[in-house]
């Protein structure tokens, strides 16, 4: 990133010095603040002067306008260090509308999801749609499109393709390198992508990688990881020089397990991220404010928790003017009254008050009208496509682990009828299918899954990480067919079906991943969809989110893609029947 001071003409630097020196009036003075200083690690009472979107100094200044904070805390705006915005199912401006009032003023986004559907056009869409948003958005270029050769994506991005976007000032580097076997084994594709980063950050994705494999992975230049699930795993990576991204999303919740790692000596190497956080969790719990609040409640020093949500992240990514309340830093600030509730009362972005008491100011609301092409291309589907011919008495079954994106590889007896496998709801085993939706190849992989609790009906979605083919889980073929056909008709979306009828549906016309409607509309539809799934017997908090990760081959142990059942430890297709 460029230096915000050195890049200025000399006349601008002179003006800045005069303003900071009190020789001219500043734009805004924040009076009577208790500043949370992420540099000194303390809290001090002072006035804070803002001018031209930046902080210019502490103390008394003549100002064009002033806000009396009456002793409230003033902290840097929160920064989410790793997020897939597409997982909220709303466009970037709409995402900003709901999280900026919660104190998140900047995100480092990995547009991996839309890139797997639309390639470079998807990344450009995210850059364009975020350009005028109140939310500051930086991009890490998706490193694994497709994530593996074990699935069919809508695009394939080489190192050369990614290099075309590296010079954009909002592109900070290469996003999570999920192909850790490719890195460790010296794959030309992986090495080419690493080499084009040219000193920019390369994020990691290395669940349970340890020992010499971890050494090799880090030696390639990969400096962070957000997949740690235990203190032992995180400590090994921390000792090897990695920055630890402590994740608390919707499907993967690791904050409580990893916080015991954090102490005064190592906390500056740790940061908070959400990765994939569902709209309903944002509405009911919060965004980065929720992570900070939870950390404080679990015993982390409040200033340390603020650092992990601001300056640690900005310094890791080399964003030189974010993450602190200090002269020369961008005036992205939050105001709150106590650490326990951490209720954000005011948000200032680029020196302008943009939100109060949880509501974005009308002047800060933006939209983006850009379009993308249709992305659901499926060969004609028949009900018989969901039948599984019985070829044995026992089969591999995907075992769901609640609140985690890892799964278990189970072996269970199968229930059959007339030579075909049927669901066995009494044993919590139902059918799963993945339909290739990018190339109209006609590929449909089928398997079994345990842990959803469905007693009837089916659910389907065009959100299935990472290639986002259509995934369907159901008790019978007819409802699976009904749900899948509705997804195709909507050009992407989420569906619940029962007794041959669609019960509820949410259209996602933007790449089959995002809605063009408000977050309130999407949230209400999701509530109805989850209620429908619960009415069909599912006991998971969010069955659709859980379903969307069953197709993710880089995460152990057993997954499914359009290519078949995947042993995600050995990285190979395996037969359904034992």
Q: For 334-392, give the DSSP string.
A: EEES-TTT--EEEEEETTEEEEETTEE-GGG--------------PPP-GGGG--B---
The pLDDT assigned to 147 comes to 80
Q: What is the pLDDT along the chain (578 residues), one digit of tens a residue?
A: 445 544 667 778 899 999 999 999 999 999 999 999 999 999 999 999 999 999 999 999 999 999 999 999 999 999 999 999 999 999 999 999 999 999 999 999 999 999 999 999 999 999 999 999 999 999 999 999 998 889 999 999 999 999 999 999 999 999 999 888 899 999 999 999 999 998 899 999 998 999 999 999 999 999 999 999 999 999 999 999 999 999 999 878 899 999 999 999 999 999 999 998 989 899 999 999 999 999 999 999 999 999 999 999 999 999 999 999 999 999 999 999 999 999 999 999 999 999 999 999 999 999 999 999 999 999 999 999 999 999 999 999 999 998 788 899 999 999 999 999 999 999 999 999 999 999 999 999 999 999 999 999 999 999 999 899 999 999 999 999 999 999 999 999 999 999 999 999 999 999 999 999 999 999 999 999 999 999 999 999 889 989 999 999 878 899 999 999 999 999 899 999 99
Three-state secondary structure call for residue 471: strand
pLDDT at 11: 75
Let me know: does 354 contact 364? Beta carbons within 8 Å: yes
User: Is the separation of the CB atoms in 460 and 484 below 8 Å?
Assistant: yes
* pLDDT at residue 260 in the model: 97
Of the candidates 455, 424, 476, which has an alpha carbon nearest to the alpha carbon of residue 543?
455
Do 479 and 457 touch, CB atoms closer than 8 A?
A: yes
The C-alpha torsion from 542 through 519 and 322 to 83, rounded to 10°, is 30
Quickly tell me which residue has 């066995």 as its tokens: 424
Distance CA 560, CA 160 (A): 30
Residue 541 has what pLDDT? Answer: 87
Angle 469-472-478 from CA coordinates, rounded to 5°: 130
In 10 A of CB 82, how many CB atoms? 25
Bridge partners (DSSP) listed for residue 177: 204
Q: Which two tokens stand for residue 474?
A: 């159901």
Q: What is the pLDDT of residues 96-108, one digit of tens each?
A: 999 999 999 999 9
Q: Do the Cβ atoms of 401 and 387 come closer than 8 Å? A: no
Q: For residue 538, what pLDDT is reported?
A: 97
Asked if 123 and 111 count as a contact pair (C-beta separation under 8 A), the reply is yes
Residue 61 CA from chain centroid, whole number = 41
Question: What is residue 7's predicted lDDT score, i.e. its pLDDT?
Answer: 61
How far is the C-alpha of 57 from the C-alpha of 327, rounded, in Å? 5
Cα dihedral sign for 163, 168, 169, 173?
negative
Please count the CA atoms within 13 angstroms of the CA of 120 that sit on its side-chain side: 10
Distance, CA of 459 to chain centre: 23
Beta pairing partners, 204: 177, 225
The token pair that represents 388 in the structure block: 């599984």
Beta bridge partners of 398: 409, 449
What fold, for 78-319? Answer: TIM Barrel (3.20.20)
Contact 194, 220 (CB under 8 A): yes
The distance in angstroms from the start CA to the end CA of the chain is 53
DSSP H or E run through 285:
none
- Dig out the tokens for 406 from the structure: 């890892």
Residues of the chain with CATH 3.20.20.140: 78-319
Q: Read out DSSP for 20-70?
A: HTTSS-EEEEEEEEEEEETTTTEEEEEEEEEETTEEEEES---EEEEEE-T
Residue-wise pLDDT for 501-511, tens only, equals: 999 999 999 99
pTM of the predicted structure, to 2 decimals: 0.92
Give the per-residue SS3 of 73-116: EEEECEEEEEECHHHHCCCHHHHHHHHHHHCEEEEEECCHHHHH
- Which is nearest to 170 in space by CA: 205, 143, 135, 121? 135
**DSSP state string for 523-539:** HHHHHHHHHHHHHTT--
């Amino acid at each position: 990133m460029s230096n915000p001071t050195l890049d200025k003409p000399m006349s601008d630097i002179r003006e800045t010095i005069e303003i900071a020196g009190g020789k001219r009036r500043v734009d805004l003075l924040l009076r009577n603040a208790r500043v949370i200083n992420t540099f000194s690690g303390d809290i001090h009472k002072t006035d804070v002067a803002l001018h031209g979107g930046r902080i210019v100094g502490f103390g008394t200044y003549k100002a064009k306008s002033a806000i009396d904070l009456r002793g409230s805390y003033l902290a840097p705006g929160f920064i989410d260090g790793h997020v897939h915005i597409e997982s909220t199912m709303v466009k970037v401006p709409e995402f900003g509308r709901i999280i900026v009032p919660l104190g998140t003023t900047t995100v480092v986004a990995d547009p991996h999801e839309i890139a797997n559907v639309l390639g470079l056009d998807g990344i450009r869409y995210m850059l364009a749609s975020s350009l005028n948003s109140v939310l500051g958005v930086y991009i890490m270029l998706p490193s694994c499109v497709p994530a593996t050769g074990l699935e069919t994506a809508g695009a394939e991005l080489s190192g050369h393709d990614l290099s075309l976007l590296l010079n954009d000032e909002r592109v900070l580097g290469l996003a999570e390198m999920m192909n850790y076997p490719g890195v460790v084994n010296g794959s030309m594709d992986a090495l080419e992508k690493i080499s084009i980063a040219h000193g920019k950050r390369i994020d990691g994705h290395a669940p349970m990688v340890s020992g010499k494999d971890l050494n090799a992975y880090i030696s390639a230049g990969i400096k962070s990881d957000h997949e740690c699930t235990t203190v032992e795993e995180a400590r090994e990576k921390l000792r090897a020089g990695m920055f630890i991204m402590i994740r608390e999303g919707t499907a993967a919740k690791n904050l409580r397990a990893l916080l015991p790692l954090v102490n005064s000596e190592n906390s500056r190497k740790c940061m908070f991220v959400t990765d994939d956080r569902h709209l309903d969790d944002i509405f009911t719990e919060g965004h980065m404010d929720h992570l900070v609040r939870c950390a404080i409640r679990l015993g982390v020093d409040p200033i340390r928790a603020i650092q992990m949500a601001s300056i640690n992240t900005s310094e890791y990514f080399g964003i030189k003017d974010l993450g602190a309340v200090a002269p020369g830093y961008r005036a992205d600030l939050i105001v709150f009254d106590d650490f326990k509730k951490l209720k954000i009362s005011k948000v200032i972005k680029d020196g302008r008050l943009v939100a109060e008491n949880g509501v974005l100011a009308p002047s800060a609301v933006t939209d983006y009208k850009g379009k993308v092409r249709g992305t659901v291309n499926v060969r004609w589907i028949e009900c018989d496509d969901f039948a599984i011919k019985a070829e044995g008495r026992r089969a591999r079954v995907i075992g769901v682990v609640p609140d985690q994106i890892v799964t278990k590889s189970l072996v269970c007896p199968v229930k059959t009828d007339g030579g075909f496998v049927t669901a066995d709801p009494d044993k919590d085993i139902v059918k799963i299918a993945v339909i290739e939706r990018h190339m109209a190849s006609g590929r449909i992989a089928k398997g079994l899954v345990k842990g959803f609790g469905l007693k009837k009906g089916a659910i389907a979605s065009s959100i299935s990480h990472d290639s986002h083919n259509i995934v369907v889980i159901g008790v019978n073929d007819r409802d699976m067919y009904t749900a899948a056909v509705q997804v195709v008709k909507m050009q992407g979306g989420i569906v619940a079906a029962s007794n041959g009828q669609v019960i509820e549906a949410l259209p996602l016309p933007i790449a089959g991943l995002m809605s063009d409607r408000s977050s309130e509309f999407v949230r209400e539809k999701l509530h109805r969809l989850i209620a429908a799934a619960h009415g069909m017997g599912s006991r998971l908090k969010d069955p659709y989110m859980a379903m969307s990760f069953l197709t993710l081959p880089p995460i152990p142990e057993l997954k499914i893609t359009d290519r078949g059942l995947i042993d995600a430890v050995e990285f190979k297709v395996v037969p359904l029947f034992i």
